[in-house]
Amino acid sequence: MAKPTLLKRFLVWKYKHISQRNFVLLLAALIGFVAGLISVLLKNLTFGISWLLEKSIIFSENKVYFILPVLGLILVYIFVKRISKKPLEPAIPSILFALSKRSGKIASNKMILPLITAPLTVGFGGSVGLLSPAIFSASAASSSIGDLFHINRKTRTLLIGCAAAGVIATSFKSPIAAVIFAIEVFALDLTFASLLPLLIASLVSIITSYLFVGNEILFTYNVTETFEVRDTLFYILLGVGTGIASIYFSKIYFAIFKFFERFKTRFQKLLVGGLAIGIMLYFIPPLYGEGFSFINNLLSGNHIDALGKSLFDGFTDNIWVVIALLFGITIFKTIAMTTTLVAGGTGGIIIPTLVMGSALGNVVAKIINNLGLGFQVSESNFTLIGMAGLIAGVLHAPLTAIFLIAEITGGYELFVPLMLTVSMSFLITKNALEHTIYTKELAEKDALLTHDKDKSVLTLMNLDSVIEQNFIELHPETSLRDMLHQGVAKSSRNLFPVVDDDKRLVGVLLLDDIRNVMFDQSLYDSTSVETFMSNPPDVINYETDSMQKVMRKFQSSGAWNLPVIKGGNYFGFVSKSKLLTAYRRELINFTK
């Protein structure tokens, strides 16, 4: 007999000595550590590439930085085509799909790919962020750890949330916002059983980042001007502005992706997208890279450095020109970000959202201060709260937005204006757009987990698990005699699918349909299945019908059994009783 492996011996020891609850906490700490390492590694790889390019003789003496993102996209294209040979996937939507349709299982290679393609994209100046790739990588690592220790789906989902929380916590040193992000974006239940692992993962990831990079953070700000009641209307106005900007963000994102659908190959998209990015960067240098230096300069009140050197340097003495240029960044950051992604780059939308929000908040404050009406507001505060407004609107994550800015500023002095702006932005955006960039396509496929338990349980259910195939098939021309001998006599079911020679469903036959004639021998050879069969009240399409749609078909038809069609042919039946039994079982697993 083969000796048990070390892992098997550990699992046996764990089962005897460590409760499942405590083991989940240990795994949360491990995943927090891994998420911290991935975040630090990804950031250092990206900054290393940026530093090499900035110090390069070629690019430091010749102002041709605007072609660098195109070079990065070409390198990503070569890597994907020649080495990985698998198409890139959007990070957060892919994770959400894995949670709903793959039991939280993410391919292990997704842990490595973002660590290569994201630094090439962002390090060369691509106008996207690093948070989403880091979350994707950490989530893939979490999934692999779950496989290693045979974790069930519910715990695997929680641990993927821990990975996301760890990345956010590491990046902003904001553990509370990180926990709330995981709950809002990944639709986790807010219970003590989920809250404690998320907190542990966040704290461990922060400590891990301190070990490697000290107390370095992406940006910070100490509030020096507190909230004034007289500014209430202005913060509501900012909320309206960020709400409209959030709608613009989402609309432009999908419009650009739709526009690029006309190009059939990735290389065509690369050429067109690379040219567009180069032109935008030539005229608007702050679009280069993630944009944290832009945010920091705005927070310090240095809008000249934030705008950088451009063709408009001679006009920046005029504050209205500055306002126009900042507003241009608000408009074009979304376009540059989406173009980078559709041209083949790897990155996320969270940091571009913050950049866009900071520019818009600063614009609103500058307009108020320079209208000559005697009003004076804090430009730095509006810059911060503009970021929160965009996060709330674009991600539909209002609590994340509030606590992220509150933790960045080291206190809650701006809590009231944050709530004013964020709530207004979220209200406007949620009413205009039911779903976010992350969730729109998943919702259209009925593959989105939400805080609605009924919808989530149906989303988690698998159609294959409720399809029954132990039905005897009949042919339309089969005589009543043969039907009774070959069908009714040999079947334990009272339902029979009627199919033609090509296995296409042409009707169904119920035992009740022939009960009053089945003993009339005079009809045995003069009638056939076609005489008694009827059309099903509805059919289930295996390829296109989600479990939500299946449930709706049962409700609208009033049927107890519905046939399943796969590839145009009969495939089996789904019974309402089995469907409800499976639903109840899944609901118990989901809520326990």
Q: Are residues 507 and 397 in the same domain?
A: no
Tokens 């994907």 label which residue? Answer: 80
Q: For residue 11, tell me if it sits in a domain.
A: no
| % pLDDT > 90, the chain | 55
**What is the pLDDT of the chain when averaged over all its residues?**
89
Flag whether pLDDT at 338 surpasses 80.
Answer: yes
Per-residue confidence (pLDDT) for residue 130, from 0 to 100 = 94
In this structure, are residues 221 and 299 in contact, taking their beta carbons and an 8 Å threshold? yes
Cα separation values, 29 from 34, 37, 208, 559, Å: 9, 12, 11, 50
For range 412-426, the mean pLDDT: 93
In this structure, are residues 403 and 412 in contact, taking their beta carbons and an 8 Å threshold? no
**Token output for 534:** 């009827």
Q: At CA 53, angle to CA 49 and CA 54, rounded to 5?
A: 115
SS (H, E, C) 81-101: HHHHCCCCCCHHHHHHHHHHH
Domain that holds residue 538: 460-591
Model confidence band, residue 58 (pLDDT cutoffs 50, 70, 90)? very low
pLDDT tens digits, one per residue of 31-54: 999 999 999 999 999 999 988 887
Of 451, 472, 488, which marks where a domain is finished?
A: 451
Q: Are residues 111 and 166 in the same domain?
A: yes
In this structure, are residues 109 and 84 in contact, taking their beta carbons and an 8 Å threshold? yes
Per-residue confidence (pLDDT) for residue 322, from 0 to 100 = 94
Residue count (the chain) = 592
Model confidence band, residue 67 (pLDDT cutoffs 50, 70, 90)? confident
* φ and ψ of 486, to 5 deg: -90, -20
Q: Are residues 196 and 64 in the same domain?
A: yes
Of 213, 240, 273, which marks where a domain is finished?
A: 213
Q: Are residues 379 and 490 in the same domain?
A: no
Q: Are residues 133 and 72 in the same domain?
A: yes
pLDDT tens digits, one per residue of 113-149: 999 999 999 999 899 999 999 999 999 999 999 998 8
pLDDT tens digits, one per residue of 254-266: 999 999 999 989 9
| β-pair type (467-468, 540-541) | unpaired
Q: For residue 223, tell me if it sits in a domain.
A: no
| % pLDDT > 70, the chain | 95
In this structure, are residues 123 and 65 in contact, taking their beta carbons and an 8 Å threshold? no
For range 95-101, the mean pLDDT: 89
d(CA 313, CA 305): 11
> Which of 14 and 211 is assigned the larger pLDDT?
211
Q: Are residues 409 and 272 in the same domain?
A: yes
Flag whether pLDDT at 61 surpasses 60.
Answer: no
Per-residue confidence (pLDDT) for residue 63, from 0 to 100 = 62
Per-residue confidence (pLDDT) for residue 315, from 0 to 100 = 81
Q: For residue 1, tell me if it sits in a domain.
A: no
Q: Are residues 464 and 399 in the same domain?
A: no
In this structure, are residues 269 and 263 in contact, taking their beta carbons and an 8 Å threshold? yes
Q: Are residues 252 and 197 in the same domain?
A: no
Q: For residue 380, tell me if it sits in a domain.
A: yes
Q: List residues bridging with 468 in a β-sheet.
A: 573
d(CA 304, CA 550): 58
Q: For residue 263, tell me if it sits in a domain.
A: yes
Specify the amino acid at residue 80.
Answer: V
Tokens 């390198």 label which residue? Answer: 75
Per-residue confidence (pLDDT) for residue 3, from 0 to 100 = 53
What's the CATH number where 36 sits?
A: 1.10.3080.10
Per-residue confidence (pLDDT) for residue 489, from 0 to 100 = 81
311 burial type by CB count under 10 A (0-12 exposed, 13-18 middle, 19+ buried):
exposed
Per-residue confidence (pLDDT) for residue 218, from 0 to 100 = 64
What's the CATH number where 464 sits?
A: 3.10.580.10
Beta strand ranges found along 431-514 (DSSP E)? 467-468, 495-499, 505-510
In this structure, are residues 223 and 382 in contact, taking their beta carbons and an 8 Å threshold? no
- Dihedral of CA atoms 176, 182, 183, 187 in degrees, nearest 10, equals 170
Per-residue confidence (pLDDT) for residue 62, from 0 to 100 = 47
Tokens 């990070």 label which residue? Answer: 91
Per-residue confidence (pLDDT) for residue 59, from 0 to 100 = 47
- Dihedral of CA atoms 222, 226, 227, 228 in degrees, nearest 10, equals -150
pLDDT tens digits, one per residue of 501-548: 889 999 999 888 888 887 878 888 888 888 888 899 999 999 988 888
Q: For residue 9, tell me if it sits in a domain.
A: no
Of 408, 434, 451, which marks where a domain is finished?
A: 451
d(CA 35, CA 137): 8
Domain count, the chain: 3
Q: For residue 224, tell me if it sits in a domain.
A: no
Q: Are residues 272 and 319 in the same domain?
A: yes
Q: For residue 4, tell me if it sits in a domain.
A: no
Q: In what order do the strands lie in the sheet with 569-575?
A: 467-468, 569-575, 561-566, 540-541
SS3 285: helix
Please spell the DSSP secondary structure of 177-192, one letter per residue: HHHHHHHHHTT---SH
Q: At what angle do helices 379-395 and 415-432 cross, to 10 degrees?
A: 30
* Range name among 12-26, 131-145, 206-220, 250-264 with the lowest pLDDT average: 206-220
Q: How many DSSP H helices and E strands does the chain contain?
A: 26, 6
Within 10 angstroms of residue 214's Cβ, the number of other Cβ atoms is 8
403-427 burial code (b ≥16 CB/10 A, e <16)? bbbbbbbeeebbeebbbbbbbbbbb
Model confidence band, residue 11 (pLDDT cutoffs 50, 70, 90)? confident
pLDDT tens digits, one per residue of 443-475: 888 777 776 777 777 778 888 889 999 899 899
Q: Are residues 317 and 432 in the same domain?
A: yes
Q: Are residues 196 and 237 in the same domain?
A: no
In this structure, are residues 120 and 343 in contact, taking their beta carbons and an 8 Å threshold? no
Q: Are residues 432 and 314 in the same domain?
A: yes
SS3 24: helix
Q: Single out the residue of 466, 433, 465, 435 nearest to residue 448, CA to CA.
A: 435
Per-residue confidence (pLDDT) for residue 548, from 0 to 100 = 87
